[in-house]
Structure 1
């Protein structure tokens, strides 16, 4: 069974001190986290220079020039 503290069992100063300590610890919300800070982006694969040398317009140079 959980321990239950009755307010009338503690001296007035101790109850106020406990209330002030609880307010200091839990009385404010944590800092807001932006959505941009929750996502990490990185490439799925290592860039391959040989793969990126393809020029989609190369056929224009070869056949139309």
Structure 2
């Protein structure tokens, strides 16, 4: 019984290998990332701007206030 199951698994593995071939090569982590130099202070535009905050914050109560 075990030899039948083993031969079935081997046959299935051979069929998969014949149908799909081998897996693609792994891509190294260094090739997945990219680093870029930025100017000092870049990305620090998160200062509080009370007059421009309306486009990021919406409240129905503020819209209904006279």
TM-score, normalised to structure 1's length?
0.27
TM-score, normalised to structure 2's length?
0.26
